[in-house]
Structure 1
Amino acid sequence: MLLELLTAKYPGMRRWLTQRLCAVSMALVLVLFWIRVVWLSPQGYNDWLAVFAPLWWRLLMVWFFVCMLLHAWLGVRDVLRDYVPQLGVRAGLQWLVNLAVWGNALAVVWILFGMDF
C-alpha cells in the first residue's frame, strides 16, 4: 500500500513524504547540535571554531542545510502553485526561489569548507 502511494501515480505523496523526512532529519540534527554545544560549552571564537572543526560534523551540517533547503523549496513551490495562478509570474518567482536555494547551498559549502580549521 505505501509503495503504491509513492509511485508516479501519486507525485504529491512523494513530495509530502520528502518534506516530512527532511523535517525529522533536521530535528535530529538540531538535538545533536544542542547536545554538542552544551557538552563543549564554547565561550569564544576559537571554541566555536573547534565545534565545527571535525569533518564528520561539517558533513552533518551540510546534510542539515540540504534538508532545510529542500524542505523550503518544496514548501515555497507548493505555495506558488496554490496562490499564483499566472504561469509566467509563477515561473519567474520559482526561478528566483531556485536561485536563492542554490546561492544558499553554495554559501553553506563555502562557509563550512572554505575556512581554515
Structure 2
Amino acid sequence: MNASGAHTGTGSWLIQRATAGVLALVLPGLLVYFLIALPVDFAGWRVLFAPLWLRVSMLLAGLALALHAWIGMRDIFMDYVRPVGLRLALYLAVIGTLAATLVWLAAVLWGVA
C-alpha cells in the first residue's frame, strides 16, 4: 500500500481533461474569429483585440494551455528523469517559462486597448 493514497493522480487527470476541454471549446472559436476578421495592418489588429470577451478568452486559453503543458511535462519528468536535482531544475525551468509567458500574454492583451 502506498502511504500517499490510492488516488493521487486523479486530480491531475481531471485537470488535464478539463484544460483539454477548455482548449477544444475556445481555440476553434478564436480561430474562426481571426479568419473572419483577417486584419492586414496594425490598426486592424488593435481593433481585433479590443473586445474584452476576446482578451478574456485568450487569457483563459493561455492559462488552460499552460496548466495542460505543466501537467504533461511534470509527468514526463517524473517518469523519465531520475536524478532529483535535474528533475527539480527542469520543473523550475518549465514553471518559470510558463509563468513568464502568461504574464507576457496578459501584458500584450491589456496593452492593446
Match of 2:109 among 105, 109, 112: 112
TM-score w.r.t. length of structure 1: 0.84
Code of the aligned partner of 1:59: V
Which deviates more from structure 2 when the two are superposed, residues 76-85 or residues 17-26? 17-26
Secondary structure class of the residue paired with 1:11 = coil
Q: Structure 1: which 4+ aligned runs deviate by more than 4 Å?
A: none
Match of 1:98 among 91, 95, 98: 95
Counterpart CA distance in 1 for 2:34 and 2:81 is 42
Structure 1 runs not aligned, ≥5 long = 1-7
TM-score w.r.t. length of structure 2: 0.87
Equivalent pairs: percent with the same residue? 32
Shift of 1:9: 4.2
Larger RCO (alpha carbons 8 Å, 6+ apart): 2
Any idea what the Cα deviations from partners look like across 1:18-54, whole Å, max 9, x if unmatched?
Answer: 1111112112111111221233332322222211111
Any idea what the Cα deviations from partners look like across 1:60-109, whole Å, max 9, x if unmatched?
Answer: 11000000000001100000000011111111111111111111111111
Match of 2:50? 53
When the two chains are superposed, the root-mean-square deviation of aligned CA atoms in Å is 1.5
Shift of 1:56: 1.5
Structure 2 runs not aligned, ≥5 long = none
Work out whether 1:78 is the aligned partner of 2:70.
no
Work out whether 1:19 is the aligned partner of 2:28.
no
Shift of 1:10: 1.0
Match of 1:66 among 59, 63, 75: 63
